[in-house]
Amino acid sequence: MIDPYVYPGTDILKNALGIKNRQGLDDAEADYVSLRLRELAEKPLPGEYDVAHVAKMHEYIFQDIFEWAGKFRTINMEKEEPALGGLSIEYSDKDNIEDDLAEALRKMSSREWGSLSLDEKVKSFSEDLAAIWKVHGFREGNTRLAVTFCCQFIEAQGIPINRAIFEKHSAYVRTSLVAYTAVFHDLGDLSKKEYLERIIRDSLCSK
């Protein structure tokens, strides 16, 4: 399959900076995205925590890097995951992205967050974060988007959360999301939820 998001003959994502080497793009992306994430931590992005709000936040975070920031992917995706022996998570089909995302957001918004115990908050927040992440609505940046969006949402419910934990342990967070969502049509449920729930508990208890 031809990937329209990369420069022909490479696996480097097309970018507004015209960078065509992996390290250069990774470094530039890290710098710009870190700046935007700090801005969002200090000044939340207004919205209704709906599909449009998700797209708007992705656009804000990646506006300096990708011209398609904020636009849902137009291709289906697979990513080989070492933690799954090379299998890919079954992300949403490109034609179902907005519907799947809307359902995940509806469920998250319908919870009575203020009345939940800590254990219930941990399980519910983990489930909602994982559901939004599994949609994988964009060609790049889905983990940072999902974490930032969900942290802003939970803070809007009056529940403090330590965002620094996610930043410090970003690789662990992504691996834990992979483990949480490892459910397959042919292989069944291979998920391990305890890793994500552990870091969510730490983030809710250490603010």
Rounded Cα gap, residues 134 and 90, in angstroms: 8
What's the pTM?
0.95
Q: What residue numbers bound the domain in which 138 lies?
A: 22-71+80-205
Q: Residues 107-153: pLDDT tens digits? A: 999 999 999 999 999 999 999 999 999 999 999 999 999 999 999 99
How many domains is the chain built from?
A: 1
Position 30 pLDDT exceeds 90: yes
Task: Count Cβ neighbours within 10 Å for each residue of 81-109 and write b for 16 or more, e otherwise.
Answer: beebeebebbbbeeeebbebbeebbeebe
Residues 6+ apart with CB under 8 A from 30: none
Assess if residue 146 is contained within a domain: yes
Assess if residue 132 is contained within a domain: yes
Position 207 pLDDT exceeds 80: no
Output the average pLDDT for the chain. 96
CATH number of the structural domain spanning residue 46: 1.10.3290.10
Q: How confident is the model at residue 2 (pLDDT cuts 50, 70, 90)?
A: confident
